[in-house]
A and B are shown apart, each in its own frame.
Chain A
């Protein structure tokens, strides 16, 4: 890849011709995708469409066989590892809530807080006033001040999802990748989560992978439909659901 091709895009996240195969099976097949700064994008698609593999490629967990993955117009994500990519400003929320079960809510947030990552500096580091203020702010956003000294293992499923969103806020990434945030949530929790994501989107770019159609509708953003590792359609939810090919592969008719 040349420098000029990287600079020619204003996109925050730029995927071009990305292919990933596992033992001959093409999880991603010549996938191209653009996410603009400040945008929120919903990605839908049937099982095995490559949604999670796409997240893995962007966060450095999986190396693509070919194609370009560029972040912020300058960083070639195919050459960096998870820690580098996270430090650049890409946060990821997993499908299954993964909070640190043996740490308190507060410590979970402290670990996620952007800033110190060096082991030798953390040996002597004490939380600073700025960090404490930031923790208090996040605890109030996710409404968990009262549970801040509770261990992660003792939280309910919904609370874990909230804590994880709080951890992403603490990480303060430029781009947030969210994998099925409302899986296993009640209708009320789903509605609140959509509100929170819209709130987060005011200051961060967000990519949401989701199965739940009512949730995607509630988000009311541009939708990308994946199928067999490539992009099938793009547009508003109404536009893509009117697309005959999408109806065939996704709605299973």
Chain B
């Protein structure tokens, strides 16, 4: 039953794409580990880290697309779910430092010693356990999404109002996390991580495994999302997106559909955040900044909303552009981002994936018109 559920959404192009993601996730780490550093086939650790980061962004984009592209909920606060997942991972990594911190306190992380904490705050208990921390990385964003969605969807808050609420949520969380007395590192956040599951976070082999884990998680995310979207639930979901009141008059309780997909998507964003933090080595409140959430929406728009492949491609294109431009021409990046927004809205309403479809349709039409 579960296999049937998982397979119902798979079509040929998606199968190929999942294989491609897995191939990248296996090949890059292997080329890093097996090839000697001088070899032209050697993949440097920084590239592994970069691709791993992009893969976690792609998972976040997929989460945004699931609510926006398939259910019409434009969330401008998914960065908050991502950051919460990241903070859960950060708390685990902080507790792994133990007495190797600057102050050498075996229990308290450095920033707590610095702020004169006498004991560990209650919400830090359990985070020394990896399983517990990962469970929290899923649960904390899910619970927040459930609470927000429960009230918003029952009160029939839709469209731009919902977008504003989600945006306000991430902004409020950013302000809260900036405060030192939250007990979560204040504006410095958490960094100087040493080990994850006993392996050094700096080691190439750890980076290789993290890159592979990100690819594997993204592949799983794609498969489960495809199954949801391809089910009868998915058909109802896109129908809610296209004509919500019609669905109500057909007897569907629209709130349940929205709430499930919103919570699922938040959980996925949380997992993406948990994968992101050990690869970049830091988590701080700026991850909650509203601009991050908007950027994630842009990835989806560029790649193609309402498709599963689109957000992954969009996340890679935009972030590659960002990495390259902020290095080559730092002052141009924001202009490029703005221009991209305009170009996509005006010329590519269905994103890059939609462009592919347009080209195919046009060439087919040309073929049909050509004299035989």
Contacts and interface: CB of A to CB of B under 8 A. Distances in A.
A86 B250 contact: yes
A92 interface: yes
Given A82-B245, A98-B243, A100-B242, A171 B250 contact: yes
A14 to B, nearest CB: 21
A102 interface: yes
A87 interface: yes
A111 B233 contact: no
Interface string A77-106: 000011100110001101000101111000
B236 A124 contact: no
B256 A119 contact: yes
Interface string A105-129: 0010011101011111011111100
Nearest to A112: B250
A205 interface: no
Contacts of B4: 126
B246 A119 contact: no
B248 interface: yes
Interface string B148-189: 000000000000000000000000000000000000000000
B249 A122 contact: no
B246 A87 contact: no
Nearest to B247: A111
A123 B235 CA distance: 10
A194 to B, nearest CB: 23
B248 A111 contact: no
A118 B247 CA distance: 12
A94 B250 CA distance: 12
A181 to B, nearest CB: 16
Contact of A86 (B235, B239, B251, B257): B251
B202 interface: no
Contacts of B260: 119-120
Contact of B231 (A94, A100, A124): A124
Contacts of B1: 124
Instruction: Determine which residue in A59, A86, A98, A124 has the highest number of CB atoms from chain B within 10 A of its CB, and name it.
Output: A124
Contact of A59 (B238, B239, B247, B249): B249
A117 to B, nearest CB: 5
Contacts of B5: 123-124
B226 to A, nearest CB: 13
B252 interface: yes
Contacts of A125: 231-232
A107 B250 contact: no
Contacts of B247: 111
A119 B249 contact: no
Contact of B236 (A87, A111, A167): A111
B253 interface: yes
B117 to A, nearest CB: 44
A83 B252 contact: yes
Contact of A122 (B231, B242, B254): B231
Contact of A87 (B233, B242, B251, B256): B251
A117 B248 CA distance: 10
Interface of B: 1, 4-5, 228, 231-233, 235-236, 238-239, 242-243, 245-254, 256-257, 260
29 contacts: A82-B248, A83-B252, A83-B254, A94-B246, A98-B246, A100-B239, A100-B242, A100-B246, A101-B242, A103-B239, A107-B235, A111-B236, A111-B250, A117-B252, A118-B256, A119-B236, A119-B253, A119-B256, A120-B256, A122-B231, A122-B233, A123-B5, A123-B228, A123-B231, A124-B1, A124-B5, A124-B231, A126-B4, A171-B250
